[in-house]
Amino acid sequence: MWSNFFVQQEEEGRMGVAGGGQGGGLAGMKGFRGGQRRTNKMSDSQEGKIKLVFFVAIVGVTLTVLGMGTEFWVELAQPKNYSGNQTCQMAHYGLWKGCIRTLLVADIDPERTSCGPAELPGESNCTYFKFFTSGENAVIFKKTTNRNLNLAAAILALLSLTMMVMGSICIAMSLNKGVPFFLKPASFCFILSGVLVLLSVLIFHQSVLALLSSDHSIPLHHELSWSVACVGSAGAILIVGGVLFIFLALPFSPWQKCFPHKDSTT
């Protein structure tokens, strides 16, 4: 009787060990599959495409910083013979600072009716705007700026820079970790930064029109300068870069159809 009891206990123990081994094997297989899902690394070709698009976005960031830091967004020029002497005055300003320049009429192109351009040599008097400190409006040739519009343009420009920094951080993390997960938030940041840059340019142009309509005693010729061209081009480049990041983040990128990845192994 005792011998039958021990034989039965051994058989039950063997069945339990076998069942535990099967369960452990299934758990190991599940963990291996989950590990495969978690370690979905990007290929070398995809990493190269991300670096290429990131370089395009960096060009947009550079142009934005270059345009925002200068005071050549718009030029306001009096008629070159308005003062009746050998000099004339013109002004140029940006988001943060404005300058009034005194030029010699003899240096101006004879076919040009207004004073300028700003690249000519002359005396310059530059001051920072007080929109952000005391809230005072600036007066340029008896014309008053619109503080609200100028503030809105500057704030949108600063927000666009913040989004560019966040997008760059996402791309750096994606390249560092080797996963395409951060491409979607990076694309959102770059597209939004480009839109904010273009909105900043539009609002700035409205502020220039408001300045010109505030007083009509002095006739002025105005034209947007090279800084606006830099910032506008930067906004378009940032939007294009963000759209390309969306394509790279898709499971089946459209680039794979145009440039299929060929495996070196046969």
Instruction: Point out the residues of the chain with pLDDT beneath 50.
Output: 1-2, 5-7, 9, 15-39, 253, 255, 257, 259, 261-266
C-alpha span between 93 and 154 (Å, rounded): 13
pTM, full prediction: 0.77
Amino acid at 199: L
pLDDT for residue 252: 52
pLDDT for residue 250: 77
How many angstroms from the chain centroid is the CA of residue 100?
Answer: 31
C-alpha span between 130 and 200 (Å, rounded): 19
Residue ranges per domain, the chain?
45-250
pLDDT for residue 62: 95
Q: What contacts 184, CB < 8 A, 6 or more positions away? A: 245, 246, 249
pLDDT for residue 34: 45
Q: Right CATH number for 45-250 from 1.20.120.420, 1.20.140.150, 1.20.120.400, 3.40.50.300?
A: 1.20.140.150
pLDDT for residue 82: 86
pLDDT for residue 249: 81
Burial class (CB in 10 A: 0-12, 13-18, 19+), 106: exposed
- With tokens 């606006």, the residue in question is 228
Please give the DSSP secondary-structure letter assigned to residue 214. T
